Structures are given as C-alpha cells and as structure tokens.
Amino acid sequence: MKNLFNIEGKVALVTGGSRGIGEMIATGYVENGAKVYITARKAQACNETAERLSKIGTCISLPFDLGTMEGIEALAAELAKREEKLDILVNNAGAAWGEPIDQYSEKGWDKVVDINLKGPFFLTQKLLPLLRKAGSAQNPARIINTASINGIEPPALETYAYSSSKAGCIMLTRHLAKRLSKEHILVNAIAPGPFPSEMMKATLETLGDFIRAENPLGRIGTPEDAAGVAIFLASRASAYTTGAVIPCDGGAAEV
C-alpha cells in the first residue's frame, strides 16, 4: 500500500508544461522520479522551465505549437525518436478568449477550440503507438486531460469558446476512456478551478478577493493541489479509475 502513488521511472509528456498548471504537474512528476518531457509554443519559456526542473530531476524541453497539425505531428515524431513507450500523456495546453457575445470573433473561437479540443484528440491519436507499448493489464498507460470547472458549470465571464471546449474535453475523455480501456490505456480528466496561472492572472487581479471569499475553502489552488491529483491519476492508486472527471476547485462551482 505504501507504493500506491509511486511514479518513479515512468515517462511522461506534459503539454503546456512551461507555466501554470502544466508546470505544477510537471514539477510534481519530476520531484517524484518520473522522466518528464514538457512542450509549449514558446521555446524560450519551455527551455527555461526544463532547465530549472532538471536541477531536481529529469525534464526535457520539446517546444512545438500544438495549435497546428504540423506541430502535433512533429512533436509525436520527435518523442518517438527518443522513447520506445509513453506511460503518461497530460493534455494540458490550453487557451482562452473573452469578448462580449455580440462581438465574439471567429478567430478567437477557432484558436481556443483548436488548442483545447482538437489538439488533445489528435496528439493522443499520434501518440497511441507509444501509449499502447507502455500499457498492460497490471500497469495501464495514462492519458490525463486538463478540463475545467467551466466545462461543468457555465462561468460568469464571456468566454464562450473556452467553456464549450472544456465541456467537449470532458466528453472526449469519457469517449476515449470507453474506446481505449481494452488496450490498457486509462483516460481521465482534471477539472481545475482558480489557480495562479497566466490565463487567470487578469481575473485574479480584478476578482481575486471575491473568488477567495466565495470559494468554500477560502483560497485559490496551489501547485501541490494540481500535482497531487495528477500523481494520483498517473499511479497505481487510480488503476481502476477511467472516464472520470475530478474537480480540483476547493468546492467551487464557477468563477
């Protein structure tokens, strides 16, 4: 029982791993002995985060733009050159766009849906060979999608594509879980609430006190909160869990 949460020696890929919740998850994995690849669109930020995390474990930067099929295919090909299998895929890269409903742009909609929903599906598709090699009945491979509580309850903010894409991410998680279960690949999602991230920066600066006051636990999330759920979903502790969506929001229903 004491090794239920052990992920030492596993190979993980965390998209959007240079900052925010992706960096929190990557840090938790690195500190607990996994070999972690991180990817992000901005090469400098990705390289800097990997260099910092390499001081406490193994972290490798593979910067690619996952908002395009070219970037997705290139990342999958590069990882296949380096690894024979992939134990953990964390589809965390995300984008948000807010505009009043009467002005909401097609550009914003397409950008958000491409990164938040299209990207996770096609990256999963391209990495299935590596995930299949890693999974067994006793030790399944893991796919962990970062959804959002805004995909469960509609937010007050006018972020229509974001909430819709995250709701789609939840259904995609369940659909993939059903399809891939017999191939020894578990698929689950984390639905974060408010965390200190670049995406939430402006909201926390203007509404931070209100969000904390309304949150049942009276605070926003910490790196340990995000990493804890991600470690659970990557370890033996969750080997009988698939198709689940785990809120990590302090009990809040919306932002």
**Which residue carries 């972290």 as its tokens?**
59
Whole-angstrom Cα distance, residue 133 to residue 101? 46
Question: Residue 30 half-sphere exposure, CB side, CA atoms within 13 Å?
Answer: 25
**Of the candidates 248, 221, 222, 220, the residue with the CA atom closest to the CA atom of residue 233:** 248
The tokens for 157 are 């903010």
The encoded tokens of residue 169 equal 């991410």
- Asked if 37 is an active-site residue, the reply is no
- Three-class SS of residue 130? helix
Q: Which listed residue (104, 160, 162, 240) is catalytic?
A: 162
Count other C-beta atoms under 10 Å from residue 2's C-beta: 5
Alpha helices per DSSP H over the chain = 20-31, 43-53, 69-82, 106-113, 119-134, 160-180, 201-214, 223-234
Residue 56 and residue 33 in contact, taking contact as beta carbons nearer than 8 Å = no
Catalytic residues, by residue number, are 162
